[in-house]
Amino acid sequence: MSEQRKTLNFALMDAPFENARTTTAFRLLDIAANRGYHLKVFAYEGAVGLSFIHQQAHPNAVHGRDAAEENHPLPRKWVCALKTTVEQKGGSLEWVNCGLCVDERGMNESIEGTRRGTPADFWEFAQTADNTLVIPTC
């Protein structure tokens, strides 16, 4: 008999580039993705910027490095990598951006594979997941 894959629900709230909570969240998501879990992510408040398609790498004039040398991490690429990993490991990823938060921030354009939703999506995720982790802002 095959084992049922777990479904984990995450609520993220921090904007990209603001603090280590976002990095920690992606580390946890990556571990779960590599284990083949089904992942549901609800991006709320500033976290809707994590999958914003117009993020761009930038140079660092202070250190004299161009954009390629600076190799600045872009969370939208982390989301894409996460999607690739879950697919390779037999899991799935459903990424929903809060539509109210998207509108407030003008971040209507997200990478492929994400969608706009409402807080009701988070409620549904929590009802159907094996476990839920909320990573709030302070």
Question: Whole-angstrom distance between the N-terminal and C-terminal Cα of the chain?
Answer: 44
The whole-number pLDDT of residue 3 equals: 65
Alpha-carbon gap, residue 118 to 43, rounded angstroms:
10
Tens digit of pLDDT for each residue in 80-99?
999 999 999 999 999 999 99
CB 41 within 8 A of CB 10: yes
The whole-number pLDDT of residue 70 equals: 84
Nearest to 126 by CA among 102, 103, 94: 94
Element (H, E) at 28: helix 20-34
Q: Is the pLDDT of residue 2 over 70?
A: no
- Helix-, strand-, coil-residue percentages of the chain, each rounded to 5: 40, 25, 35
The whole-number pLDDT of residue 137 equals: 85
Q: pLDDT class for 117, splitting at 50, 70, 90?
A: very high
Q: What contacts 68, CB < 8 A, 6 or more positions away?
A: 57
Q: What's the whole-model pTM score?
A: 0.91
Find the mean pLDDT for residues 66-75.
Answer: 88
The whole-number pLDDT of residue 59 equals: 87
Q: State how far Cα 138 lies from the chain centre.
A: 18
The whole-number pLDDT of residue 60 equals: 87
The whole-number pLDDT of residue 21 equals: 93
Q: Is the pLDDT of residue 34 over 70?
A: yes
Q: Is the pLDDT of residue 1 over 80?
A: no
Nearest to 138 by CA among 20, 51, 29, 8: 20
